[in-house]
Amino acid sequence: MKTVTISKTPADHYFVSILVETKDVASPKPLITREKAVGIDLGLKDFAILSTGEKIANPRFNYKEQPKLRHLNRRISRQFRMNKVHSNNRNKNCIKRARLFEKISNRRNDFHHKLSSKIVSENQTICIEDLAVANLMKNHKVAESFASVSLGEFVRQLEYKCLWYGKNLIRIGRFDPSSKISNCCGDYNNNLKLSDRFWVCSKCGQTLDRDINAANNIRDFALQRQNLITQVPLEERELTLQEIVPLLAREKLSASSVVE
């Protein structure tokens, strides 16, 4: 045992966090193959769309509790305007609101853990986009929706569970046109709008589901990127910070050789 941390939440609940040191080692990762790889397109309408065609609906936990939240906010605001900032009733209402937020957070975390564990256990290679969640939150029209689904937390869970269970996690660039390229023939649709959920490829004539097509492209882009990285000598590669650490572990090189 290393340290013990006692914390108290705004909902008046206490937790004890114990940090322990173990001798566990990371599991070896399997070979990357197309048959055992899955691409995941994260979004708002559907929380996750897999390249297998499966769509996981967005549970929207925040919206289900909005009537209760509005009621508590009105009561707390009314007591504030009446100069009852430190009244017992206002403190009780603040704790009720904090417990409601904690309930929403617990339900969301439970959903993330169950879904991430299911995906990691069923696949050997997981391909995702490198989303800039902080930039998405700057858009005031969708900021609340992105905050309610916590995409960053879901990706974080995928990362450490892949490390625990010896699975591969590959990211593609955030600017890769995964939605606008036909996964059937590779034709680029520059006129695709965000409101177009289905579109017909002008080259092959296939009717494509925007999200499933994007998930397939994410998988193919990630596998293609992985093949290019493994084929090019290390000294000739242009690496990002996230790619250096696994390459060091795999090829047993020192950090100084990579920098040079």
Cα 148 to chain centroid, rounded: 12
41, 187, 243, 251: the active-site residue? 41
Contacts 24+ apart (CB under 8 A), 122-125: 122/38, 123/36, 123/37, 123/38, 123/167, 124/30, 124/32, 124/33, 124/36, 124/37, 124/167, 124/168, 125/30, 125/32, 125/33, 125/36, 125/37, 125/38, 125/167, 125/168, 125/169, 125/170, 125/222, 125/223
260 in active site: no
211 in active site: yes
Give the HSE-up count for residue 80: Cα atoms under 13 Å, Cβ half-sphere: 8
Q: Which residue has the tokens 């114990």?
A: 18
Give the HSE-up count for residue 99: Cα atoms under 13 Å, Cβ half-sphere: 10
Give the HSE-up count for residue 58: Cα atoms under 13 Å, Cβ half-sphere: 18
Taken in order 209, 210, 211, 214, the sign of the CA dihedral is: positive
238 in active site: no
35, 65, 153, 211: the active-site residue? 211
Per-residue CA distances from 118 to 121, 132, 232 (Å):
5, 24, 34
- Tell me the catalytic residues: 41, 129, 211
